[in-house]
Structure formats: C-alpha cells, structure tokens
Amino acid sequence: MARPPLILVSSSIEKRGVEFHDLSASLSVKYDFAVLQAGGIPVTAPVTTDRAILAECVRRVEGVMLTGGDDINSDLYDPKLPAKIRRTVDQTPDGGGRDLRELILIEEVFRQRKPLLAICRGHQLLNVAFGGQLVADIRQQVPGALNHQRLDQACELVHEAALTPGSQLANICRTLVLGVNSSHHQAVRKPAEPFVATARSRDGIVEAMELRRELAAGMPFLLSVQFHPERLVSRHARHRAIFKKFVAICATKGKI
C-alpha cells in the first residue's frame, strides 16, 4: 500500500492561546479534515522564519498548503495605501512573521517544484510574492461589489464563480459555474505575471488563479482559491474534488 503523502500546512498566529495565554499557532481542524479525507497526512509548519528549516520542511513533504487567516501587511503590496483604507487592515500578532514565513515557503515550493494549494490568505499572498497588488478593502475599493464577508454562512454556498473553460479548476470540478463560500474583505487586484485568473465572481473579484498554460509544465500542481473549500468538503463533491486532486498528485510526487 502506498504511503499517504505528507502535506505541510501553514497556520495563523493568535495573541492568546489556550495554554498560558501565550502567542500561539492556530489552525482550523477543517483543513486537517479535508486533507485526511482526501488521503493525505497534514503536518503543521513550524512557527519560524529560519529559511534553512523551512526549506528542509518543504523537502520532507510531498505538498504544501497555505491557509486563511490574518490580513497581509499592506507595506508588502502598497506602501502608499491611503490611511482610511489602511485602518481596515488587521496587523498580524507576530509582527509580520507569518508573512515572511509563508513567503519563504512559496519561494521553496517553486525552487523545489512541489505541489501547492493556496487558500484565501494564501491565494492573496501568492500574488504578493510575485509582485502583485491586493484590494485592501473590497467595500471601499470595489464599487458595487458583492458582500464577500459572509462569516455568518462560512460553510454555505453564498454566490457563484464563473470558471474559465479548460482551466485546471474547471476540469477538477467538472463545471463552469461553481458555488462558493465567502469570508474575506481583501482580494487579488490583478494576477501577477506568472498567473492567470481562472474564476471570478460576477463583480469581478478573482476567485481562483493558476499558472499561465505555458508555465504550468514547470510545476506539478498549483491552484490558489479565494474561497474556503475545506469548509465545504463534507457536503459538496466539487470542493472535495479539489483536495482529492491535490493529494493524489502529492502521492505520486507530481508525476500525474
């Protein structure tokens, strides 16, 4: 029997954890459940910015998953962001350590050519890592936008995303219209040069990115999504399919 692939999973940082109220790593169990259900074994990334250690972590696993959570430091993508909008951006409790840690992970994923699934914050940071900008606050910067902060229905399909025909996501989900959940106030403004948007909501928000077709052959798997498929896998086969494909490719070390 083949060994289940190890998936390195990033975590959020909380100001107060359960034990001693220390600064703590935090990760929704739904991420673990989605990976386990798909046949992988999730391993939480260590809370460090030591490049050598993170590089070794990526080397030892078969795939990497970047998760949702805190806002990204706006200085990384728009140092001149107006104060009115900057006030809506939450600062990470660890002083930007998560941003740096995950930027290193992204660099190592590409250097070592490992499969990557980026979700919500991970989707946004992937764009920032390649010089792209973000919409720091959708309500203020996108006139007529949908309400994308549906935290009250985080595990429900609240709007649809139109998928690009022939895209990886369309092929995985076997549809051109995908129902998604929505719990974010920031978004990718425009995909950075290596990427192309392969899903958008009707207000134009980028709901998924993939590598441009001519670049995709260099990576075994790369998909980033703005929504949270891990919160939908228990009831929606199309969202389960995302994790199944990711884990299946990780299991074969990117050979399918």
The CATH homologous superfamily of the domain defined by 6-251: Class I glutamine amidotransferase (GATase) domain (3.40.50.880)
- Write down the catalytic residue from 228, 236, 239, 250: 228
Maximum pairwise Cα distance, the chain = 56
Instruction: Provide DSSP, 202-238.
Output: TT--EEEEEE-HHHHTTSS-EEEESS-GGGTTTT-HH
- The residue assigned the tokens 């990033």 is 10
Mind listing the pLDDT tens digit of every residue in the chain (256 residues)? 579 999 999 999 888 888 888 888 899 999 999 999 999 999 999 999 999 999 999 999 999 999 999 999 999 999 999 989 998 898 777 778 999 999 999 999 999 999 999 999 999 999 999 999 999 999 999 999 999 999 999 999 999 999 999 999 999 999 999 999 999 999 999 999 999 999 999 999 999 999 998 888 889 999 999 999 999 999 999 999 999 999 999 999 755 4
Residue-level pLDDT at 235: 96
* Buried b or exposed e, range 137-172, using 16+ CB within 10 angstroms: bbeebbeebbebeeeeeeeebbbebebbeebbbbeb
- Judge whether 120 counts as a catalytic residue: yes
Q: What are the φ/ψ torsions at residue 196 (nearest 5 degrees)? A: -135, 140
- Judge whether 56 counts as a catalytic residue: no
| CB 181 within 8 Å of CB 153 | yes
- Judge whether 102 counts as a catalytic residue: no
What are the Cα distances from residue 16, in Å, to 37, 40, 96? 30, 30, 17
Beta carbons within 10 angstroms of residue 253's beta carbon: 14
- Write down the catalytic residue from 230, 236, 239, 250: 230
Residue-level pLDDT at 233: 98
| CB 206 within 8 Å of CB 181 | no
- Write down the catalytic residue from 57, 62, 108, 120: 120
Please tell me the distance from the alpha carbon of residue 25 to that of residue 44, in angstroms, as a whole number: 9
* pTM recorded for the entire structure: 0.95
